[in-house]
Amino acid sequence: MIASAPGKLILTGEYAVLEGAPALVIAVDRRAIARRPDRPHSRPRGTSPFLVAVADEIAARRGAQDPAVAAAMEIAVDSTQFFDGTLKLGLGSSAAVTVAATALAIGSADHDEVFEIASAAHARAQGPRGAKGSGADVAAAVRGGVIAYSTAGIERVVWPERLTLISFFTGTSADTPVLVAKIAAARKADRAPVEAALAAIASASRAACQACALRGRELAAQGLLSALKLAATAIDQLAAASGIPLVPPCVVAARAALARLGGTAKTTGAGGGDVAIGVIPATEDPSTAARLLIEAGCKPLALSVDQTGVDLHPGAQ
């Protein structure tokens, strides 16, 4: 059997999702692929902390003698699709690896079961780095599609067809746990401005999630574009309040360029690098937007929404 799971982009709600605010998240069509080796013990056991965490989590739930525990320690996961050469793109590779490994180890792609185990395992592995995460990336890897995620639940929503989403690489990889720790330290040092920025991020993200739940196509597109512009301003506010360079210069340049087309651009996830997004009305030419992004120093990526989520199938397919 082979299991695979998609990556993700957290479009809005960064940092604030850690405190219960909703995040707008999409699963993208770069997948981690998990396999069992043909010969048991043909590779070092438990080479990834996320695979070890999956084994430990299954053992805690089912007992150490459950066959899925040993299976998790033998799995090999290919995550090369999450890199641009040697640079990490920031598409949630660790969450996708954890989800794919969980599904293969337990022999099931049941969304509820895989999410329960994988989210706990991912937090277990991330904990020593100081940032257990919100679970949004794991949810996207399990569910696929476009979701409004919060600790209160996961809601499937729809990307408005009258908006075009263009992903691009900033050229620099970011370290999410390090950035989360820096924001926490900045908040402790100067609480009021950082919390005001986090509140602005949360408010913009709620508006974005609500827009994607609207039935009217034009209203949804207008609402989401407005919310994304607010979200971009809010992350700028957090960068200024914390003194941390969360918004790379190429994203600032891309935002100004896409404004000519009635669109905007912003960071995703923790910011500081990785993949960012541009959004333009569907009436505008995507090739023009791509040219503007390149001129701004960005590298457009061919990413689309992955509707499948975690998948488990015979290896011959």
Q: Which domains does the chain have, with CATH numbers?
A: 2-158 (3.30.230.10), 163-301 (3.30.70.890)
* pLDDT tens sequence across 55-101: 999 999 999 999 999 999 999 999 999 999 889 999 999 999 999 99
Residues sharing a CB contact under 8 Å with residue 181, sequence separation 6 or more, in sequence order: 130, 131
275 or 44: which leads in pLDDT: 275
pLDDT of residue 126: 83
Gyration radius from the chain CA atoms: 19
Supply 313's token pair: 């199938």
Residues sharing a CB contact under 8 Å with residue 48, sequence separation 6 or more, in sequence order: 77, 97
pLDDT of residue 200: 98
* pLDDT tens sequence across 246-295: 999 999 999 999 999 999 999 999 999 999 999 999 999 999 999 999 99
192 or 213: which leads in pLDDT: 192
Report the candidate in 235, 211, 236, 213 with the shortest Cα–Cα distance to residue 224.
211
Supply 205's token pair: 């993200």
Token look-up 């827009």 returns 211
* pLDDT tens sequence across 147-175: 999 988 999 999 999 999 999 999 999 99
Neighbours of 199 (CB within 10 A): 15
Report the candidate in 226, 227, 177, 231 with the shortest Cα–Cα distance to residue 199.
231
Rounded to two decimals, what is the model's pTM? 0.93
pLDDT of residue 15: 94
Q: Phi, psi at residue 87, to the nearest 5°?
A: -95, 130
Find the DSSP H helices in 213-275.
217-242, 249-259
Q: Mean pLDDT score of the chain, rounded to an integer?
A: 92
* pLDDT tens sequence across 104-129: 999 999 999 999 999 999 998 887 76
